[in-house]
Chain A
Amino acid sequence: EAQVTQNPRYLITVTGKKLTVTCSQNMNHEYMSWYRQDPGLGLRQIYYSMNVEVTDKGDVPEGYKVSRKEKRNFPLILESPSPNQTSLYFCASSPRLPPYEQYFGPGTRLTVT
């Protein structure tokens, strides 16, 4: 089944403890992206990647890192999480550039205390 998977789905952590949210797609898509969703602010793009080893900042990249070593995986890394990074995170992929229809993962709900 064609899909985008994210793990974990739910995570509660403490300030400063490094964490990684994994994202994987099995559709051989070139474009992948991370978003965070907050009430009243909609979805905001954190980072995106147009292909392996090609990543760029979105609108809210501060406090996040990404890597794209393989086409299928695009992990999101929080080196030192803070409470303002409590949010719902979505990974998405798209088969073509510029980004056409995007396929979203199920989301990761992160709480930083």
Chain B
Amino acid sequence: SQQGEEDPQALSIQEGENATMNCSYKTSINNLQWYRQNSGRGLVHLILIRSNEREKHSGRLRVTLDTSKKSSSLLITASRAADTASYFCATGESNFGNEKLTFGTGTRLTIIP
């Protein structure tokens, strides 16, 4: 079953602008992660936020997590052409010894030079 749903599905912005992507999920989680995928390639881990954290930063990335709303956002500041990629949220669940990571359908981000 799909856990995370990203919004929007696609986003185009000018280079230098900020990009915000949102992720909503349905069940309790241990952590939420964001990944980047360049066309047809393997995913690359960007940042992980635990369920007891509200905000986390890594370079130009800022992630927030609101467990009461079951949602997260990824903000990329001062976007660059190299940020063009698909971005996925993934929720880590631990359920009776079953450890799963469930991915959303992704946001396709295009940075216009």
Contact = CB atoms under 8 A, between A and B. Distances in A.
Contacts, number: 72
Contacts of B101: 33, 45, 94, 98-99, 102
B48 interface: yes
Please classify how large the interface on chain A is, using the bins under 10, 10 to 19, 20 to 34, 35 or more: 20 to 34
Given A42-B88, A45-B102, A107 B33 contact: no
Interface residues of B, number: 27
25 contacts: A35-B103, A41-B2, A41-B105, A42-B2, A42-B103, A42-B104, A43-B88, A45-B100, A48-B99, A58-B100, A59-B102, A88-B40, A98-B94, A98-B100, A99-B100, A101-B45, A101-B48, A102-B33, A102-B43, A102-B45, A102-B90, A104-B43, A104-B44, A105-B42, A106-B42
